[in-house]
Chains A and B, each alone.
Chain A
């Protein structure tokens, strides 16, 4: 028994990076952080602005991953949370003249409440139903914002509230906001990483894998699913509340509420590696920068005599569509291997895995849920 026990303890120790040789992934992470910290030295304010946006988007993606990647219920309307957090904060700063710091805190609270709104119905709905309900929620909110255009600014959104950090001069402000975004990004990453690698994370992934098995182990799945929702709402809302108080963000449907936002966090996370936190962190930044880079390509199609300003969005979506369609597991698998090597939870078990990625598990469980509810449908 004892040498078996010590084998088990060894496994865990190597997982924790327990002070022996620094983990390879840890080293890479530190290096990346150093580069990011030094970034303002080598690049101009425009790029810093983009990175700021990328960091906040990555925070959104990570918050999505907590719910969708870890409970296995894919949310198709997470922009609902971001909008609640962002708009609340912006409104408080603008109309109630509260200090941005206070507004942000209240924004987070509002998002947590919104998380309960999604959370409670979600706990009773199976995956596909959950997907549809979450898909519809942002439209409802948009409708509300248009209805009360005076308060919420309708389709154009609200004017920009005061920045959290406003220095003398544009470059200084941008740089300061960059560091703020970096700091929050790292902090949120650390928080979510810690939670998902803890016992709670083990329970969440177990729920994702097989909820009945968890219940029969004497653990109440509802409690933990709710925790995942609230954590997601808090992080997402926090990110959004901060975001609207920066030069690059504002409380408007395009940046916080559109279908595009919801699906972009989904795509970025899937492409980066769902269910890892590291995946959306890296995938979020990369996805955002990629999409942004297409912007700089301006096209002019003579046939229709119209200059396509949204062509970049269309192009980008088509590219992503092709990627997702032709190699839904291929690229994901490849990137996931990379993400795993950089810090996934089931790293060493990849060998005896049988090769089933997290995404595959989630997809399979969806099919199983659907089939259980609706009877045999496919061969």
Chain B
């Protein structure tokens, strides 16, 4: 389809439409006081792909994330999820609509064990629902914990988990909300190579099970092998988009990184 290649073009080429992908971001702009953190950024994410969202530190990746997931309201621009406009909706609503996310600085509930952390994310958001049927949720919570590799740490407190464990917990909590698309914020930071491999494997498995993934990172080291496509931003603006190999060799991208990895 000739439309495909145009649809995958980001930047400020043309206005995107809701049907261009599962998650479509059109000319997103975010200003804080006098500072423009995100500048007319457009790109889309297609069903069941793993998209890498890349940029050096300070490029605005987290801000974009936060605007999409409802933490901030964008100054302008539109966000469509599965054809429906969702710009500016609060975080809990975005989650209910199927947009899950993890936090880079891990925010588990420290006052309860792993399995209860996941169980909370399974709760329906209704006050007057049929209460007390904890049994079913228990089974689900245990299943999810096992899925993300925390089967042996069900009763550990988050403070007892290693870094990779906390990441798994984040994934587990996000999965419990039954997302159709999952935004993962810098998962590989602080992980050893073996752990990176294991997590990568898990992510691919999740995608193969039907999930769409957007992974944010500041370099491609960990992502290269698992992403289908990449979008690169810098200074809040679109830089490049395309297949990993293309991106790696893109002069604009290399320029953004000044010829090497930024700290």
Q: Mark B114-144, 1 if CB is under 8 A from A, else 0.
A: 0110001101010100011011001101110
> Which residues from chain B contact A356 at a C-beta distance below 8 Å?
110-111
Counting chain A CB atoms within 10 Å of each CB, which of B96, B101, B123, B159 scores highest?
B123
Residues A215 and B90 in contact, CB atoms below 8 Å apart: yes
Q: Is A352 engaged at the interface, CB distance under 8 Å to the other chain? A: yes
| A11 proximity list for chain B (CB < 8 A) | 155
Residue A353 is within 8 A (CB to CB) of chain B in the complex:
yes
Q: Are B176 and A217 in contact (CB under 8 A)?
A: yes
Find chain A residues with CB under 8 A from B176 CB: 217
Determine, out of A199-207, A235-243, A257-265, A335-343, the stretch whose residues face the partner at the interface.
A199-207
Shortest Cβ gap from A71 to chain B (Å) = 14
CA distance A349 to B132 in the complex (A): 21
Whether A353 and B157, one on each chain, are in contact in the complex, defined by CB atoms closer than 8 angstroms, is: yes
Question: Across the interface, do B142 and A218 meet the contact criterion of CB distance under 8 Å?
Answer: no
Q: B92 and A8: CB pair below 8 A? A: no
A102 to chain B: closest CB distance in Å?
27
Residue picked from B90, B121, B141, most chain A C-beta under 10 Å = B121
Q: Size class of A's contact patch?
A: 35 or more
> Is residue A361 contacting chain B, with contact meaning CB distance below 8 A?
yes
A8 touching B115 in the complex, CB below 8 Å, given contacts A215-B90, A217-B173: yes
Q: Would you call A220 and B92 a contact (CB within 8 A)?
A: yes
- With a cutoff of 8 Å between Cβ atoms, the chain B residues found around residue A191 in the complex are none
Per-position contact with B for A212-238: 1 when CB-CB < 8 Å, else 0? 111111111101100100000000000
Q: Which residues of chain A come closer than 8 Å to B177, judged between CB atoms?
A: 216-218
B91 near A: Cβ within 8 Å?
yes
Query: Given contacts A1-B146, A200-B127, A212-B107, is CB(A217)–CB(B121) below 8 Å?
Result: yes
Chain A interface main SS type: helix
Bound form: Cα–Cα A31–B31 in Å: 63
How many chain B residues touch the partner (CB < 8 A)? 45
B123 touches A5 (CB 8 A): no
Q: A5-B139, A7-B154, A213-B108 are in contact. Are A218 and B92 (CB under 8 A)?
A: yes
With A1-B142, A199-B131 already in contact, the answer to whether A219 and B112 are too (CB < 8 A) is no
Given known pairs A1-B142, A203-B120, the reply for A218 and B95 (CB within 8 Å) is yes
Contact residue among B110, B115, B127, B138 (Cβ-Cβ distance under 8 Å from A224): B127
**Number of interchain pairs (Cβ within 8 Å):** 117
User: Is B134 a contact of A12 with CB atoms below 8 Å?
Assistant: yes
CB-CB nearest in chain B for A8:
B138
Closest Cβ of chain B: how far from A25's Cβ, in Å?
20
* A213 touches which of B107, B125, B156, B159 (Cβ 8 Å): B107
Residues of the B chain whose Cβ atoms lie less than 8 Å from the Cβ of A209: 109-111
A322-379, CB < 8 A from B? 346, 349, 352-354, 356, 361
B122 to chain A, nearest CB (A): 8
Within the assembled complex, what's the spacing in Å between the Cα atoms of A289 and B2?
82
- Measured between beta carbons, the chain B residues less than 8 angstroms from A205 are 111-112
Q: Are B142 and A217 in contact (CB under 8 A)?
A: no
Contact with B along A1-17 (1 / 0, CB 8 A): 10011011101100000
Residues of A contacting B93 with CB < 8 Å?
220
Q: Let me know if B160 is at the binding interface, CB within 8 A.
A: yes
Residues of A within 8 Å of B108, CB to CB, are: 210, 213
A352-B174 Cα distance, complex, nearest whole Å: 25
Q: Please judge, given known A-B contacts A213-B107, A346-B112, whether A218 and B96 are in contact too, CB under 8 Å.
A: yes
Most buried by B among A199, A210, A346: A199
Task: Please tell me if B149 contacts chain A, counting CB pairs below 8 Å.
Answer: no
Give A223's nearest chain B residue, CB to CB: B127
Q: How far apart sit A220 and B95, CA to CA, in the bound complex (Å)?
A: 10
> Could you list 14 A-B pairs, sorted by A, with CB under 8 Å?
A4-B146, A198-B132, A206-B109, A209-B111, A210-B109, A214-B120, A216-B101, A216-B173, A218-B95, A219-B120, A220-B90, A227-B127, A349-B113, A349-B157
A contacts, CB < 8 Å to B: 1, 4-5, 7-9, 11-12, 198-200, 202-203, 205-206, 209-210, 212-221, 223-224, 227, 346, 349, 352-354, 356, 361
4 extra interface residue pairs, beta carbon distance < 8 Å, beyond A213-B173, A215-B90: A9-B138, A12-B138, A203-B123, A217-B92
